[in-house]
Structure 1
Amino acid sequence: MYKILFSILVLFSLSFTAFSQTTEKTTIGASGYPLPRFMSLVDDKTNMRTGPGLEYPIDWIYLKEDYPLKVIAEYGSWRKIVDVDGSTGWIARHLLSLNRTGLIINGSQNLVKSPEERNIIMVTAEQDVLGSIKKCQNNWCEMEVGGFNGWIRNENIWGALDLEAFD
């Protein structure tokens, strides 16, 4: 009896742990915007620093305008970010935009006509292709990639949070 109860308890705790790792807790930062959130780079050359200030060394240089980054913390006019590879650092707020962009992840992905019409493929986008996110709902996002519009599951783009909805 104890083995069965212990097994059920272990399975319950493992499933709870798995759920808690996929759902991020949202808070409101000092800026009034939610944390975490996605922003994109304003320029085609942006320095990421090891801390929130110009006195901190440059750790990485991003060379892609509109590159999406997840903001996870705020300190004054600085934003702590995470990129698609998991690298973290600090970028000045004026170098970030609220424009929503996304990178295709998990290999090549089909953008479909709508979440209801998944068999109508509008375009196939390769891994790491950058596009503009128009809106998200029910874990689907509408994107524009290379002049083509279509819908994609948000798990296949870096640029949208789980269960995020916006127009």
Structure 2
Amino acid sequence: MRRWIAGAVAALVLAGVMPDHAGAADAPGKRALPYYASIGAGQARMRTGPARSYPASWLYQRVDLPVKVVAVFKEWRRVQDPDGTEGWMLAALLRDTRTAIVRGTEPAPMYARPSDGASIAWRAAPGVVGRLSACGGGWCRFDVKGQAGYVTVDRLWGVEPGERLP
């Protein structure tokens, strides 16, 4: 009886009736595109295509740099960096930790509370990368190695204007 059931299941898989579970490991991690991630490796190569055989176009050496994932192909992610450069990275080089980078030419004030009237706790220079939390209402809590404050979303790349983060 067991052989018959195993044979029937195998026949259904071969016939394409049952769903393909080759990508089942990726199923829990599937997300709506685009989404933000960050570089989790000390060195991460951006490639011109989704395989190691494609040439590397950039070598990133900045852990926590935010990237926008715009496409997925197997274990590869097509990402966009803060400067707008796009290419492919292995998913293993990325993590879900939400980070952002200060944009603009002037330092971004980091307020004690999410309010323009709050006192300024810190200032973050353009290009500084920090971790995000508590985003909503046009503000995000921005933590740069333990120095945290609230920054307006328009000064950050790595979060959308109306996005909410816990």
Q: What TM-score bracket applies, with the shorter chain setting the length?
A: 0.7 to 0.9
Amino acid at match of 1:161: E
Separation in structure 2 between the aligned mates of residue 157 and residue 69 of structure 1, nearest angstrom: 12
Structure number with greater Rg is 2
Q: Spell out the pairing of 1:1-167 with structure 2 (5 A cutoff).
A: 31-107=29-105, 108-116=107-115, 118-167=117-166
Q: What is the count of residue pairs matched by the alignment?
A: 139
Q: Which runs of 4+ in 1 moved over 4 A?
A: none
Separation in structure 2 between the aligned mates of residue 83 and residue 69 of structure 1, nearest angstrom: 5
State the identity %: 30
Separation in structure 1 between the aligned mates of residue 163 and residue 111 of structure 2, nearest angstrom: 19
Structure 1 position 59, deviation (Å): 0.7
Shift in alpha-carbon separation, 1:79–1:30, aligned structure 2, 3 A: farther
Separation in structure 2 between the aligned mates of residue 31 and residue 74 of structure 1, nearest angstrom: 11
Secondary structure of the structure 2 residue equivalent to 1:34: coil
Separation in structure 1 between the aligned mates of residue 87 and residue 28 of structure 2, nearest angstrom: 18
Aligned-residue CA RMSD in angstroms?
1.7
Asked if the contact 1:103–1:130 (Cα under 8 Å) also holds between the matched residues in 2, the reply is yes
* Aligned match of 1:13: none
TM-score scaled by length of structure 1: 0.78
Stretches of structure 1 that go unaligned for 5 or more consecutive residues are 1-28
TM-score scaled by length of structure 2: 0.78
Asked if the contact 1:37–1:161 (Cα under 8 Å) also holds between the matched residues in 2, the reply is no
Structure 1 position 30, deviation (Å): 9.7
Q: Deviations over 1:35-60 (max 9, x none)?
A: 11111111111000001111111111
Q: Deviations over 1:93-134 (max 9, x none)?
A: 111000111111113100112223533101011110111112
